[in-house]
Amino acid sequence: MPVKGRNQSAQALNVHGRLFLIDCGEGTQYRLEEERIPMMKLDSVFLSHVHGDHVFGIFGLLSTLGMKGRQTPLNIFAPANFGPILKFFLSYYGDGLAYEIRFTPLKMKAPETILETKSVAVQAFPLNHGIETFGFRFAEKEPPFNVYKDAIERHGLTLTEIGTLKRGEDVLRADGSVIPAAEVAYKPFVPRSYAYCSDTAPFPEEAAWLQGTTVLYHETTYQEAFSAQGTLRHHSTTLQAARLAADAGVQQLLIGHYSSRNADVRAYEAECRAIFPKTFATSDGDRYEI
């Protein structure tokens, strides 16, 4: 339900300069403008399900991209039942769009990779929400090794040798000497991951599918006192999300998708922290670095 100061579901995820939009609730294009997130740089859109609070903003966004002169194809990953919605949009408002919309229907019963770039692999997996609904996990790929600058000068490394070390392999020279990669090369970062689970009630496989995720966003529509409503409407409570985060061994839990009956999001956060201390209640405009 509409709540003053609280917009519908939409998140922007920046992975090494590649911009992904996750869900597109009503007013998303306005929020992108307000937060100075360049919508023309959107690479792909991921829609969890076709309930209105997650898709009512897509028509406006697609139209505005056309009016701004976008020519780069746009990927949309969504449940198969989004297909007729997209077809309706294109039949009435698609004239003049100079860019291609590449729609990929999601139909998997277990996690599957749906998109890969040089730096990230994206998986989709089914959730438990009464209608066809999917979560998404964005996992950074292992980066190549970097070679210490002083080692390049000290050993007089050639470009070929640097390439060998960047693959994590030792360099064997013609004179029989060895330059161990472990001594002169290093990984610039430990790969990170981000998962988005909204909307869903708990289900047995969820913790295993999210195991070791760096940051998990999980819906907490209801506080624990309203757990019966959560069961009825296929949503999660604060304690259910917190237990999941603990069972999955995630480093940080972000929560959101709060019931309109409660304006105090810190109450949600407090309930989660009783089980999982590294919980943060999200609000519109928040930015997190993973």
**Annotated catalytic sites, by residue?**
53
Pair 174, 232: CB distance under 8 Å: no
C-alpha–C-alpha distance, residues 178 and 286, integer Å: 50
Tokens 């599918």 map to which residue?
209
Pair 86, 114: CB distance under 8 Å: no
C-alpha dist (Å) from residue 133 to 29, 52, 136, 201, 235: 23, 13, 10, 11, 12
C-alpha–C-alpha distance, residues 255 and 242, integer Å: 9
Sign, Cα dihedral of 175, 177, 178, 183: negative
3-state secondary structure labels for all residues of 136-175: EEEEECCCCCEECHHHHHHHCCCHHHHHHHHCCCCEECCC
C-alpha–C-alpha distance, residues 31 and 51, integer Å: 19
Long-range contacts at 263-266 (CB < 8 A, ≥ 24 apart): 263/3
The bridge status of strand 146-147 relative to strand 171-172 is unpaired
CA-nearest of 262, 261, 241 to 253 is 241
C-alpha–C-alpha distance, residues 245 and 211, integer Å: 9
Task: Look at residue 61 and give its three-state secondary structure.
Answer: helix
C-alpha–C-alpha distance, residues 257 and 70, integer Å: 31
